[in-house]
Amino acid sequence: MRLKFVPPLMPTLVDRPPEGDGWIHEVKFDGYRSQIVIDDGNVRIFTRRGLDWTAKYRDLVEIAKGLNVQNAIIDGEIIVLNDAGVSDFAELRKAITRRQHDLYFVAFDLLHLNGHDLRDISLEDRREVLQAMIPAGERIQFSEALPGTGAAVFHLVEQAGLEGVVSKRKDSKYRSGPSTNWLKAKCYTIDEYELLGVEREPGKPAFALMAERGTGRYIGSAFITLNREMRERLWKRVQEHAGTAPKGMKRPATQWVKPGLIGRVKHLRGEQDLRHASLQNFREEEGT
């Protein structure tokens, strides 16, 4: 019987990795969650939602055909690395269309192998089998567990500029859908964005609406955590730079500003738009 796509197990977002000996900790890669399905030499690659993207990953399909298995379902992430050796989501889309040779598949779980459904055996045992079947030095790689406590691993990953850590219970079975057996802790980063306006409603927190510099694309709001003196300075600047709403944006409680104010925003690393974001500081753009 032909193997089918299995909806993936989805980790729960937490602030910090768990502690204790019952967990393994892996790097959270910044790419596309994907699934390789091998059936008697036939290879298909699916997206996280089950779309068949085999045609988009021609090189990885050929490499997967070289694995010494009859049939298998492998859970992992498709990534591309930047010059620093860190997975780079922004470059991934370009690589899919123009640089297939730069794509890697990082394998972290094995759901099926040679007629055996492995989802009911422990994660530790599944990963041991997976590691043994993936040759070193290829563009299908095994996701190594990082040694050390959750706190130590998270600190190292943060310092290295990586997206975060995924912690997994060693004894857990594989179950599709949201799960607390896998926990993801994301690192924060600070970037500068253009301030579009400030949203203020009585009795509610104030938010800064931010856009990408250069493109003006709205990417989300940041909670204003400034101290009193800086908040008053911000309100003054917003009033002095009062502008009109960008095309297509209707937010009645927002005071819009003209281009020229830049905000420093702390936010979760590895997201296309701002998540868990806070405004740390602001300045006027040079030349305005």
Domains, in order of start, for the chain: 9-186 (3.30.470.30), 188-284 (2.40.50.140)
1: its two tokens: 């019987």
Mean pLDDT across 2-10? 96
Bridge partners, residue 52, by sequence:
46
Bridge partners, residue 265, by sequence:
191, 279
pLDDT tens, position by position, 206-230: 899 999 998 888 999 999 988 888 8
- For the ranges 90-104, 107-121, 202-216, 249-263, the one whose mean pLDDT is highest: 107-121
Q: Is the pLDDT of residue 201 over 50?
A: yes
Residues designated as active site: 28
Q: Say how many C-beta atoms besides its own lie within 10 A of residue 176's C-beta.
A: 12
CA 39 to chain centre: 29
Amino acid at 75: D
Share of the chain above pLDDT 90, in %: 57
Bridge partners, residue 45, by sequence:
36
Over the chain, what is the mean pLDDT? 90
pLDDT at 84: 65
pLDDT at 238: 86
Q: Is the pLDDT of residue 4 over 50?
A: yes
The residue among 69 and 159 whose pLDDT is bigger is 69
- Where in the chain does DSSP place strands (E)? 9-14, 23-28, 32-39, 42-47, 71-80, 103-113, 116-117, 140-142, 164-169, 177-186, 188-199, 207-211, 218-224, 254-256, 261-268, 278-284
- Rounded to whole angstroms, what are the CA distances from 176 to 121, 123, 218, 219, 278? 14, 14, 33, 30, 33
Using CB atoms within 10 Å of the CB of residue 222, give its burial: 0 to 12 exposed, 13 to 18 middle, 19+ buried.
Answer: buried
pLDDT tens, position by position, 180-200: 999 999 888 889 999 998 998
Q: Is the pLDDT of residue 286 over 70?
A: no
CA dist., res. 190 & res. 193, Å (int): 10
pLDDT tens, position by position, 74-99: 999 999 887 767 777 777 888 888 88
CA dist., res. 78 & res. 60, Å (int): 9
Mean pLDDT across 172-180? 97
- Entry pTM: 0.76
CA dist., res. 97 & res. 282, Å (int): 38
278: its two tokens: 């806070």
